[in-house]
Amino acid sequence: MNMEYLDIQLTDLPDEILMTIFKQLNGAEIFYSLIGVNKRLNKIVHDSNFTSMLTLLNYHLDGSISSLSYPMLDRFCSEILPEINHKIEWLNLELSSMARILLSTNYPNLFGLGLYDLEIEIAKYLFTGKIVLFIS
């Protein structure tokens, strides 16, 4: 059998191998790229391994953090999050997209938030509604 003529597709792999591969990739990119492609991939990406804890921000090599691109954030807020909201237990967010993500749907099973790139003064205001002045 000549190997150069094998036509193997990603979807030819067993679910267990696909899940192992997907776990190594950015969760947000997995959802954005694979949700809605076909029933099988939908079922895999809806697994609790991918839905219970979502990181909706970008880490950069220089250590900085930024929001998802506008098209990605828009699709998450309008389609993906409302579809999987009941499965989400933890969200990792950054300041500039936090309000939009949190207001896009209800999260009945959310018990934790990881807030990144958030200054202490802003955090205190968000959680108390009071402006806090620091005098050094």
For the segment 119-135, the average pLDDT, to the nearest whole number, is 66
pLDDT > 80? residue 131: no
pTM value is 0.77
**For the segment 101-123, what is each residue's pLDDT rounded down to a tens digit?**
999 999 999 999 998 887 777 77
Two structure tokens written together for 128: 């108390």
Instruction: Tally the C-alpha atoms within 13 A of residue 45's C-alpha that lie toward its C-beta.
Output: 24
Q: What angle do CA 112, 92, 70 make, to 5 degrees?
A: 140
- 55: exposed, middle or buried (Cβ count in 10 Å: 0-12, 13-18, 19+): middle
Q: How confident is the model at residue 21 (pLDDT cuts 50, 70, 90)?
A: confident
**For the segment 35-71, what is each residue's pLDDT rounded down to a tens digit?**
888 898 888 888 888 889 999 999 889 988 999 999 9
